[in-house]
Amino acid sequence: MNNWVDFSKPQRQSLTGILVMFANGLQKSIRAFWPILIVYLIKFESLNKLLFFGSISGVLLLIAFFSYLQYWFFTFHIDNDANEFVIQKGVLNKSKITIQLHKIQQVNINQSLVQRLVGVYKLEIDTAGSDKKEASISAISHQLATLLKERLIHYSEINLPAKTETQPNAIVTRSFIKIGFTSNYVKSLALLFVFLTTTIENFTQFQTKIINEDKVTSYLESFPMITSVLMVVGFVFGMVLIVNLVRTIFKYFDFNIQKQQQSVILSYGLLATKSILLNPNKIQIIKITQNYFQKKLDVITIGVHQASSDAKRVKEKDKIEVPGCSQQESFEILKLLFSQMPKKGILYLPNWRKLALNSFFFLLFPIAVMLFLNYQSALVTWNEWYRYATIFSIFSGIIIWFSFKNYKLFVSDDFIIKQNGAWDVDTLIIEPFKIQTIKTQQFFWQKNTNMGSVTLATAGGNISFSTANYTEIKQLVNYWLYQVATSNKNWM
């Protein structure tokens, strides 16, 4: 392939991509009919073998034929006159997708295991006007994908060299394994729970007993209750750590980030590789997360929020994570994304009444409710109630105190930085010129104490700071509005 491609002419995917489409069609068919397949396999001896294998062969031929038609009717090109990227596809139902080039947020180049075996890549286009990937090309060579993603991101006529010139100081994070041990416990626990319940339900439907429940129960009853509970908790915790570690390794293996021309490239993955091309100007919010264990291990997670038409789905769609980087690596990454190291500036703290309010709603009120319920129905003995209330008070008190202690706002000329969190401490960073709307609020009972709150809305999510000095808030709002009005920087 030449180092320049005329994308104004319709292009087709790689011919070997038919195998990828065939694998995708086969996977969808197996997912749709796997219960029937399991029944047939169980009753295999009594089946008509000729009819069974003939049906499977017919389905495979039908999937292969449909995959070829998908390949043939799929074309893509760039309309230079309208500055649009156009995809035409469909076998029976024809469809045409047009994307304005200036609305493209990021272009991802991914490679699943099947695509790696065939030697092709998947290119995904993401815009701010949708809650899902706007368009994708399932089978394209790496060189063509690289040329196309550069053309889409910079949408001006370019002629890339055969070997893309990149900065030599690429940042490679190798501490992502520590993230597998120190974060995402809830996600891994939920994944483990769904897997176990689905497996048990499927085995129950087919009346298949893999585990003898009576033997397990008898084994646990042979130990003291505390020992049995600790064994179960230890087993679950161990499984969560294993699942978390495996997920982290498979997803973030060989993670690196580097600057290329005006963009930032992130690439990672073990079996399914992923390459993301970001335009730093379109990044709305940077989120830095670190807990106590991660601080001791010197690992930090950086989340990137881009513009989204639905701010509620920012975490699902627009956040890109840089896992397991050290503090020094995080400084280098922030310099890549902001072209300078963010400075915290002037510190603003919440009023002590925020601590009082949180203590009332999250400590005193729950204890009062538990006291009332136990008084009415005697759910537990009063000795047990005092014991549980003491444990709850200590735990909630610690959480409330650290949440208040870590609640801070820093303001400088170029950055607004908010810090919050009790265990996982989040640091949110935005640039003032990317603010879309500002909302201030003051309840009637806050007027005498001169307290209020402010919410900064960006295209990638909101940042709020509450129970603070309202006079200072109004001064900051006037300053931010001035910055937005006078800035000529582009963020879209």
What are the residue boundaries of the structural domains of the chain, listed by start?
Answer: 17-154, 176-252, 283-349+407-486, 352-405
Query: Could you tell me the pTM of the whole model?
Result: 0.67
C-alpha closest to that of 256 among 330, 174, 328: 174
- In 3D space, the residue among 146, 145, 138, 155 whose CA is nearest the CA of residue 100 turns out to be 155
Rounded distance, CA 107 to CA 122, Å?
10
At 84, is the secondary structure helix, strand, or coil? Answer: strand
Q: What's the pLDDT score for residue 239?
A: 72
For domain 17-154, the CATH class is mainly beta
Percent of the chain with pLDDT over 70: 73
CA atoms within 13 A on the CB side of 93: 1
* Ordered per-residue pLDDT tens for the chain, 492 residues: 455 677 888 888 888 888 888 888 888 877 777 667 776 666 666 767 777 778 788 888 988 898 888 888 888 888 888 888 888 888 888 888 888 887 777 777 888 878 888 888 888 887 765 545 567 888 888 888 878 877 777 663 343 333 344 444 555 555 555 555 455 555 555 555 555 555 555 555 544 444 555 555 565 555 555 566 666 667 776 776 677 677 777 777 777 777 666 667 777 777 777 777 777 777 888 999 888 888 888 888 888 887 764 445 444 444 577 777 778 878 888 888 888 889 888 999 999 999 999 999 999 999 999 888 888 887 778 888 888 889 899 999 999 999 999 999 999 999 999 999 988 899 999 999 999 899 999 998 889 999 999 999 988 888 999 999 999 999 999 999 999 988 887 665
The candidate with the shortest Cα–Cα distance to 108, out of 290, 367, 304, is: 304
Identity of the residue numbered 440: T
Give the pLDDT of residue 396: 92
Q: Which of 148, 104, 108 is nearest to 269 (CA)?
A: 108
Dist. CA 469–CA 472, nearest whole Å: 5
Q: So what's the pLDDT on residue 164? A: 41
454-463 confidence digits (pLDDT tens) = 999 988 888 9
The pLDDT score that the predictor gives to residue 54 is: 80
Three-class SS state of 24: helix
- d(C-alpha 221, C-alpha 56), whole Å: 49
Quick check: 327 and 300 in contact, CB under 8 A? yes
Among the listed residues 144, 181, 431, the one whose alpha carbon sits nearest the alpha carbon of residue 286: 431
Q: What is the pLDDT of residue 330?
A: 83
What are the pLDDT digits (tens) for 194-237? 555 555 555 555 444 445 555 555 655 555 555 666 666 677 76
pLDDT of residue 488: 81
Ranges of H-type helices in 108-224: 113-118, 142-154, 176-182, 185-205, 213-221
